[in-house]
Structure 1
Amino acid sequence: MEHTRSTYQRLPVELWIHVVGHISEKRDVAKLCLVSTLLNSISLPFLYQNLNISMQNGREWDRQLSLFRTLQIPRYSNIVTTLEITLSGGYVCAKILDRDKSCTCEVYDREVGNFLSALRNLRSLYFRCRLCRANGRHSYLDTLQTRQLRVFRFSCSCLTSQIGESNEPNPTSLLNAPFMQAVTSMALACSNRWLIDDTGTISSVLRNPDVLPSLNTLGYIVSSDSGIFRFPNEFLAARPIQRLYYPGPPLLSYETPPTQQTLECLMTNDVMQWLSPIVTKYPDLYANLRCLGTITLLSSKEENILHALEPLSVLKLLHTIELNQFISGNTKNTGDIWSWENKFEPFEPSDSLVQRLGQQNDSLRRIYHVHRPYWDVQRTDATLWERNHDDMWTRRAIPFMDHWEVVNGALDSL
């Protein structure tokens, strides 16, 4: 026993950090916090630095409430740098569980705000709201204490217009919140009422150079009061956006003055449905593109594919393209968003096709082969084709990545 204790005491802190870092289950890390003062100080960052908070059933409410209150204590709140949180109204709202009762989502939202306001060192926040729709929610976002946030993802339908409702904007634009000052990467899936000011426009907010001065990466699924999704021309005109995810085509963008020259990475659901006429008419418009997707082909014949992708040859910096794992002749335009009917055939590029694509575009170095849209057939596999210095292409299996991961450079790190 004495020997074990002395060995434990002699182990360097660096080795303990290495050991604890290989423990995958947070419940096991939590147990280590109870062993000794030393292991407590080593384990706490692994326990709280990266948090994913969601509710799987209504019985978790008390446990989650206890966690919220723990995270208001500076010793713990100062550790948190990455947070992904889903506010699940289905498990906390009394009205959903019993129609005769009043909605209790506001109580839950208030508890969330109390602990979020304590996270001073937060660098990445993914905020997903699934509460009952109501005005006035999440007002605490305007007063978050962190000034180090770099990545912000926001998904909320609280201000989405419904028949018979007033369409008043949020009292202040979320873009004006102080915590947004250092944000470089932002994804929005919400009503534009979160973003506009009293003039009713986003562009007037962005005229202030202090609003999102460092923003360069954008994911944009923002609806107007009429339910239409618009291309983020205001952001592209006002900020040097380099990486963009937008699900549908920028309708009419080739009929207006070009504003997209800064884009280096562009991800949409079916990019070739609209990009070809744009690069044909404005060859310099997307000249800086290095990464492009998703390309959904209409034919599996090599000659047809080469012809369809020939317009991309004017993009002299294009390094990576994303090809869909299916061929579809059933794409259709539904307003601003392109959608697919459930008819498709699997597509696997041949060695010959990949080689010829490389010859057609000298700068091409990578082809990411993945299934889009991923909600109809769940796929966890993907293939990455890479071109070596001898102009030979090799392929390897890699994990599935969603559009937002690709836009944020996940492919670049492989």
Structure 2
Amino acid sequence: MAIGVLSLLGFQLVDSAFIARLGTAPLAAQSFTFPLSFFIIGIQVGLGIAIAALISRALGAGENARAKRLGTLVLMAGGGVIGLLAVILWWLQAPIFTLLGADQTALEHIRPYWAPQLVAAWLGALLYFVYSLFRAHGDTKLPGKMMVLSSLVNLALDPLFIFGVGPWEGLGLPGAALATILAFATGLVVTCRQLARQNWLAFNGVKAEALLSYKPFAGIAGPAMMSQLMPPLAAMLAISIVAPLGETYVAAWGLASRLETLSLMVILAMTMSLPPWLGRCYGAGDWSQIHRLLRLALKVAVVWQLSLGVLMALGASWVALALAGQPEVQKALALLIRFLLPSYAALGVCMLIVSAGNALGWPLRAMLLSAARLFICYLPCLWLGAQLGGWMGLALGAAIGNVMAGLTSWHVLKRILSRPHRQAGVAKPV
């Protein structure tokens, strides 16, 4: 999964790197779309968390027939929800981007890009739901391979569609979205063919299963979606804090957002692969194994992320040179890398604890942790830093907010797992 996440997030960063060659204005325009793209991803990840949790629990309890019905149900419902959301975001694009601070120049770049980007987001959501089904059944290899395949297709098509070849001039910014559409479509064709060979879906009894399971599904998916929707909401507020500083800083912030997700590849891989494992242990009542898994995951998160963050901070100038085309954007991006990348060790701890909470029967606490991370720790520090120290203060404030969030999450986890029935090997209803 780490290899798959690396390739998937890598092609998103490649998109931004290619678009940076078009100029600061197209890159800034793409940066304005990130919060809404993250909003769609938040919905799909929340649904995916519920898919993995319910199916893995059913499998852990030996309810294989129910797991098949759940798989069918969530694939159908998830595609419909994301499709409706995409239509709404296309219809409301002008007022939303204006509220985010986009000027007329940015809107002219966004308009032809947004429709194909929404199609790409819908296809990506469908692919993610299929990945969730495979992960719930313990197969992380196929999703990882398909992420690599999708990224390679996108990498090959990006320069062709953005810049063109020979007499064809290319499409510019919309070309990046078209390349993503074809990449996700390729992944869907392959994974759906593999899914058809598995005996993991059942259409008989789906309606009855929907009536039976909508409450537990909503109990997980609701808080999980709220947890996942908070980051894009925070991203909207964050970019509104950055926008008054100027187009250069908006462009640098957009590149840093892409770099953030790429640098967190191991954490994101664990948030995808760990919950199904925890869900099976939860269904079987094996709390001793849950303790061991969480300890190992958190150690890996801190050691890996801190080591990577320090190395990236030391090479910040070279990383910025590789990603940004303009010297002003390079300088602003390098400053962000030096402050933010080491702080992602604490952010990774918070992300893993929130992910574990959805699998272990405390989704509401996980949602509250997400809210605290963003609206008590991160955004106030970001705003205060920008007010007191400009761009450098903003970078320092974001780093401090991440550290505060990690320490808070660790304290909450210690309190939850210190309860007697969660130290023994017996599960107790939550």
The TM-score bracket by the shorter chain reads under 0.3
What's the TM-score, normalizing by structure 2? Answer: 0.26
Instruction: From the two aligned structures, give the one with the greater strand fraction.
Output: 1
Bigger relative CO (Cα 8 Å, ≥ 6 apart)? 2
Instruction: From the two aligned structures, give the one with the greater helix fraction.
Output: 2
What's the TM-score, normalizing by structure 1? Answer: 0.27
Structure with higher Rg: it is 1
